[in-house]
Amino acid sequence: MKLRSRGSSASSVPVPVTVRRLRPGDEAVLAHLARHNDRFGSMEDRTELEPLLPGDASTFLADDRTATFVAFAGEDPVGFLYACELYRRHTVLRHLCIYEVGVSDRHRNQGIGPALLAAVGDHARTQGIERGFVVTHTSNQAAMALHAAAGGQRTATDEAVFAFTWT
- For residues 61 and 27, is the Cβ–Cβ distance under 8 A? yes
Which 3 state secondary structure label does DSSP give 73? strand
- Which residues lie below 8 Å from residue 91, measured CB to CB, with a gap of 6+? none
- Top-tier CATH class for 2-149: alpha beta
Domains of the chain, residue spans: 2-149
pTM, 2 dp: 0.84
State the Cα torsion 118-111-18-126 to the nearest 10°.
0
CA distance 44 to 24: 30
- In the predicted model, what is the mean pLDDT of residues 78-99? 94
Give every strand in the sheet of 76-87, ordered side by side.
2-5, 15-21, 66-73, 76-87, 94-103, 131-134
- Beta strands at 94-103 and 76-87: parallel, antiparallel or unpaired: antiparallel
- Taking the CB of residue 22, how many other CB atoms lie within 10 A of it? 21
Query: Tens of pLDDT along 115-133?
Result: 999 999 999 999 999 999 9
CA distance 92 to 109: 34
- For residues 159 and 135, is the Cβ–Cβ distance under 8 A? yes
Band (154; pLDDT cuts 50, 70, 90): confident
CA-nearest of 8, 14, 4 to 106 is 8
- In which element (H, E) is residue 70 found? strand 66-73
CA-nearest of 83, 64, 73 to 131 is 83
Query: Tens of pLDDT along 56-82?
Result: 999 999 999 999 999 999 999 999 999
- Residue 130 is predicted with a pLDDT of 92
Find how far residue 106's CA is from the centre of its chain.
17
- Residue 7 is predicted with a pLDDT of 43
